[in-house]
Amino acid sequence: MPDDPADDLQSMSFGSSDRSAYETVSSTSTGSGSSSSGPIKPHSAGDPCFDAVRRLRSDGGGGTLALSDMRFVQRLGSGDIGSVYLAELKCSGGEGCVVAAKVMDKKELEGRHKEGRARTEREILENLDHPFLPRLYGIAENERWSCLLTEFCPGGDLHVLRQRQPGKRFDESAVRFYASEVVVALEYIHMLGIVYRDLKPENVLVRSDGHIMLTDFDLSLKCDGPTTTAHLISDHNPLPAPTSSAGSASASDHHHHPAASCILPSCIVPAVSCFHPKRRHRWKLGRRGNASGLEFVAEPVDLRSMSFVGTHEYLAPEIVSGEGHGSTVDWWTLGVFIFELLYGVTPFKGSDNELTLANIVARALEFPKEPSVSASAKDLIAGLLVKDPARRMGSTMGATAIKRHTFFNGVNWALLRCAVPPYIPAPFSISGSSRDVSDDSSPGTPVEYY
């Protein structure tokens, strides 16, 4: 953000405890954004931060929480639409309840036409209820700032954690652990009609118990209406071909484009489509005439976008080539994600962004000779990094096909939260971490992420 909000945050958190009439936060316990009391989401039950927020709202009268009820400790990092701060809730019995507060400048968002992204992230977070996705405690706003209060993850992100590993890469058992939790998180948001579009190690945080949390949904594609119904399919029959967007996403996501256009110069990437035409499939019937290997799959097959969004090294070919994209871009990014965790580099990185994009579209996948990686891991990556989205692993059966892959043999999908994490962060304490939020160069930052 161009303007450092430290001065405003300083007055909010360290000034008078008087409550400003316009500094309020709505509880998200009902998932609707309403400030009224409601049932706790199942995966949030027993969270002390939710209890602290409810007490603060109750003590404040009117069911609102003032920004002065939070003590902003330090900045954790900055993104395209806001800065994230470590904040402590100030209430009796709530000592030590810390949250990650994403602070956004409303005027800046309006000036840069980013209000839609901020709104999308807020709407998505309000509806999530999953052990590997963020818990939204509240949404604080005043005349200038909008602030999302989410769960703080003391383990940092997987990018920083990978840098600390021998050889700056994870072993296969650790990769299997993290990838399996990412798969089920993606499966869940796909069923909600959401395409994540920004999977990368920097956006996978490590909770205090060692399990993961996907974060940063401002680039996600969200359909406001139903995207699809559950489909009864088999390995030999794909989901129906995508049509025009069934619901509304952001304005830039549902404009009609008369023709696909590649963002790369024609001297690097040919103007023709780099994908094969879709082939028709038929049911494969068993002896009794029933389709074999039937599975229920819910994927947002009607949700399509022409937007160019994401991180260069993680962009799917259909995004680069302007072919239009849907939920299968998340399976491509999963392949890049697993490749990077195993090898310490991404598979198509070039000397600059333009060459990286050209490699994504035109260069064949190659595996480094070192380190030694199992055949099953390579096979999974190769299946996910198929350039034609219609042939990519996950395009037909969604997460089901990925879960079945031999790389995940031995994973108990129903009991992922019972699995022992490869890394558990040291206990985090807010004591000793307090400092002026404007002092962003102080050593001893308790966690490196964002």
Catalytic residues: 198
**Amino acid at residue number 10:** Q
Measure Cα distances from 389 to 37, 112, 227, 277, 303 in Å.
Answer: 44, 32, 18, 11, 14
Measure Cα distances from 191 to 42, 60, 217, 279, 334 in Å.
Answer: 18, 38, 16, 25, 17
| Residue 271 CB contacts under 8 Å (≥ 6 apart), including other chains | 262
| Residue 37 CB contacts under 8 Å (≥ 6 apart), including other chains | 27, 29, 54, 63
Measure Cα distances from 215 to 31, 57, 65, 422 in Å.
Answer: 17, 26, 24, 20
Q: Smallest Cα–Cα separation from 173: which of 421, 380, 387? A: 421
